[in-house]
Structure 1
């Protein structure tokens, strides 16, 4: 007798990037691995470069000597020794930089985007599934706060060593989210041409500073307004409508309930004037889409955390925890989580002093990149069902 086949449905899904996306490969490009030319980054193919150097007497030896000295700046080397190098076939790929850097000497190492076996960027299914998990837990809290009243009060009373995981674990167990995720399968997206990557520099914008604080961190990013497809398989009785409600409400909860970016938009000087007329100015408007999922890394604490979801909603008569209590909790939580060793006392002290500095919101800083002369958030996407396949 054949084993009974479990009920399942397969959907073709789309994911559209509305801001730059970073999913790291775990690798970095240093200055010996790329050439900078008028805002174009040209990534060297080592085999092709060596072959070209060997054609010229003594040039390969000169290249090795500069490598061994630790002072190799590839762009400068090629400018001095290899005429016409910009047009030679010695590169893996070329992408544009949107940073303000004008010369190679000012550039730093570049964190690279994950790529498929044929060298093209894509979004792993694990990244999408993790983002959906956050949206489900966030939505479950927002819709059923009274269920978790004791968990919330335990957290803001600073028990359980300030462990936010305590919230997620308890709600996950209550909601049986592990069982739900056994019945959800997410494929990788299609890959896309390498030209759809760009390089941006990271900026931190803080509630107590007038301007952005630029960091020497450069990343390969997926550009906004790109569309990907992937397959979503649902087993058992968990429906696509149930799932869609969670990630479609995620961004609305955060913006309309003032729990995520809107606080920053109204407090940080860079955004204050814009926030009055356009509260959604941290992503690009594309086909009237709004973000409903946050994908990838370097997005910051807020897009990974569910802690702000537990505070009182507007017009909610059943107050559980106030925003002030949550901010107070987050300040202490971050100061305990991120510590450094004081040189004089040799004691562990807070690395960023959230408790002393943060006032209206914590953490006090947005992680952004500068893209086409605008500060823009990372990781904002729109995900939706395109069709049921079977």
Structure 2
């Protein structure tokens, strides 16, 4: 084995539901829920469709085309078609505990069926977390760590980004893109493989950080969770019509990480220091204001539905006051629903965004995407 390659085995334990989506939606006519307290069952689409097309093709086509809000859910329709429980059970690929996903936290009533955003799965339909998702989390932490150190000695970094935010030129989807690319180039693009274009990704030292996909995760570790916005000012929950497949708290996620020391200038200890820096930043600047999160080292924020702070470096780049102002500018110039979602009150509240992304698990409100990361061994 090459001496300059360092290999590590790492574990992330989910402390709250973690969602890593694959971009697919399981429609409310594509899953089975036999009763209000029963788990949601995900059928093998091929098996189910082959059976229905061979015996009830016309009726199934009419059902799928029925757009009425009063249309029955899939299980109700299957019962009306006289299909036996044994046949239905023969289609089931996996099932999930619904937990609080179908409960409206505002009134405790059963909510209407919704589509489900599915979790990332491999070619064998087993849940896993792509290495790219984990590496993205590490990249954000390292970038924030470096910017936090440089901000103390280089005031020009802040001035450039703040000035660009105030000018607000360009399209919504390209707002501050050049400034973000400049910052990443200054921090990561040190290899000089393409000196004509410093922003070319081939120059990035991140090429020396190799993060593998996680080990396969059992479908038994999946549950359904509902997206909930928790407000800073009123401390109230606003459930949204979005359901997600997510990993249960307690799920262990194992993956391998390798460092090419000839390319990547950070040690494994530096990576963990960056993660702790970013976790402290998230807690002190954001979660603390909601009475949420944890003031602990070794915590990470992983996956989708976690919120603005987990994917950005604004709070590392600026003082608390300036970060609030720039974040508000970002929302004002990129979010079409700025007024509708009441972002205008962020400056008055002293926090932006003014909602925390949560869900409910076993009756308790919890943050999305929180895990504990541990180094198991190095080779």
TM-score (norm 1): 0.79
Q: What is the match of residue 48 of structure 2?
A: 49
Answering whether residue 202 of structure 2 is matched by residue 182 of structure 1, we say: no
Residue equivalent to 1:262? 288
- The number of equivalent residue pairs is 345
State the partner residue of 1:373: 363
For residues 304-348 of structure 1, what are the alpha-carbon distances to aligned partners after superposition, in whole Å with 9 as ceiling and x for unaligned? Answer: 12111234xxxxxxxxx4x223212211220111125xxxxxxxx
TM-aligned CA deviation for residue 351 of structure 1: 4.9
Q: Which residue of 1 aligns with 2:73?
A: 73
State the Cα distance separating 1:140 from its structure 2 match: 1.1
| CA deviation string 1:186-239 (max 9, x = no partner) | 100101110100001111011233420111000000112211221111112532
Which residue number corresponds to residue 338 of structure 1? Answer: 335
Instruction: Indicate conservation of the 8 Å contact 2:25/2:117, yes or no.
Output: yes
Partner of 2:122: 116
Q: Determine helix, strand or coil for the equivalent of 2:137.
A: helix
Question: Would you say the 8 A contact 1:332–1:354 is kept in 2?
Answer: no
> Aligned pair 1:62/2:37, yes or no?
no
Find the aligned partners of 2:85 and 2:73 in 1 and give their Cα distance: 17
Could you say if the C-alpha distance between residues 164 and 351 of structure 1 is closer, same or farther in structure 2, counting changes exceeding 3 Å?
Answer: farther
Contact 1:151 1:170 (8 Å CA) reproduced: no
Q: Tell whether the 8 Å contact from 1:335 to 1:353 is kept in structure 2 after alignment.
A: no
Q: Give the Cα–Cα distance (whole angstroms) in 1 for the partners of residues 286 and 304 of structure 2.
A: 17
Cα offset, 1:27, TM superposition:
0.8
**Are 1:196 and 1:223, in contact at CA under 8 Å, matched by a contact in 2?**
yes
Once the two structures are overlaid, the 10-residue window that deviates more, 46-55 or 118-127, is: 46-55
| Match 1:10 to one of 7, 10, 17 | 7
Note the 1:222-241 alignment, pairs <5 A: 222-237=247-262, 238=265, 239-241=267-269
The aligned runs of 1:1-390 (5 Å cut-off) are: 7-37=4-34, 38-50=37-49, 52-53=51-52, 59-70=56-67, 71=71, 73-80=73-80, 81-84=82-85, 88-101=89-102, 106-157=112-163, 158-159=165-166, 161=168, 163-165=175-177, 168-176=180-188, 179-237=204-262, 238=265, 239-255=267-283, 258-265=284-291, 280=294, 291-311=298-318, 321=319, 323-339=320-336, 350-356=339-345, 358=347, 359-389=349-379
Give me the whole-angstrom Cα distance separating, in 2, the residues matched to 1:330 and 1:186. 30
- The structure-2 alpha-carbon separation of the partners of 1:76 and 1:140, relative to structure 1 and needing over 3 Å to count, comes to same
Deviation, structure 1 residue 240? 1.8
* Distance across 2 between alignment mates of 1:116 and 1:185: 19
Aligned 8 A contact 1:35 1:104 in 2? no
Question: Structure 2 vs 1, CA of residues 85 and 110 (structure 1 numbering), >3 Å: closer, same or farther?
Answer: farther
Per the alignment, in what secondary structure is the counterpart of residue 89 of structure 1?
Answer: helix
Give the C-alpha shift of residue 164 in structure 1: 4.8
CA distance in 2, matches of 1:262, 1:356: 19
5+ residue gaps in structure 1? 266-270, 272-278, 282-288, 312-320, 341-348
Contact preservation (8 Å) 2:9, 2:257: yes
- For the 8 Å contact 1:128–1:186, the answer to whether it is kept is yes
How far, CA to CA, are the matches of 2:253 and 2:93 in structure 1? 23
CA contact (8 A) 1:260 1:308 kept: no
> Any unmatched runs of 5+ in structure 2?
104-108, 170-174, 190-202
| Residues 50 and 209 of structure 1: CA distance in aligned 2, closer, same or farther (over 3 Å) | same
1:336–1:350 contact (8 Å) kept in structure 2:
no
SS state of the match for residue 106, structure 1? coil
- In structure 1, what is the Cα distance between the partners aligned to 2:145 and 2:253? 25
